[in-house]
Amino acid sequence: MKRFGLLGEKLGHSYSPRIHAMLCEYSYKLFKVAPEGLHNFMVENDLDGFNVTIPYKQKVMSYCSELSKRARAIGSVNTIIKRPDGSYLGDNTDYDGFLLIMEPVKNKVCGKKVLILGSGGASKTAESVLS
């Protein structure tokens, strides 16, 4: 069975395991990792891939041997695929999600000034979609 999960520091808010359990037949678990444990997680996990959340969307980029064009341009990774050789491909799928959410209101915000709070991976993605 394929093994996936969500990497983050605080995961109490996550519905990911329930959502993935309804969608597919694979293991999906939460991996609450303190900052000092990030390196060990990145080099020792036996997952097939994982999603990334606060505060690691930028920090995991240095562990990826390849970044998608979008992840490189945005400067944030929220999805990591482990290749057969053990190397990581980092991608940013938040972009598509935010773009989809913006679709119904794009005409209302197009050409307007928008305030984006924060400076992490999600804010970088929002900035990319809105620009």
pLDDT in tens, 53-85: 999 999 999 999 999 999 999 999 999 999 999
Asked if residue 105 and residue 76 are part of one domain, the reply reads: no
25 and 47 belong to one structural domain:
yes
- Hunting for tokens 């240095």 — which residue is that? 62
Nearest to 47 by CA among 81, 77, 16: 81
Which domain covers residue 50, as residue numbers?
3-92
**What domain count does the chain have?**
2
β-pairing verdict for 88-91 and 3-8: unpaired
Same domain, 16 and 75: yes
- In the residue annotation, 59 being an active-site residue is answered as no
pTM of the model: 0.87
Catalytic residue among 2, 32, 57, 112: 57
The first and second tokens of residue 71, run together, are 């992840």
30/49 Cα distance (integer angstroms): 12
* Cβ proximity of 81 and 91 under 8 Å: yes
CATH for 54: 3.40.50.10860
Q: Are residues 71 and 86 in the same domain?
A: yes
- Say if residue 76 is in the same domain as residue 106: no
Per-residue pLDDT of 106-117, as tens digits, reads 888 888 898 999
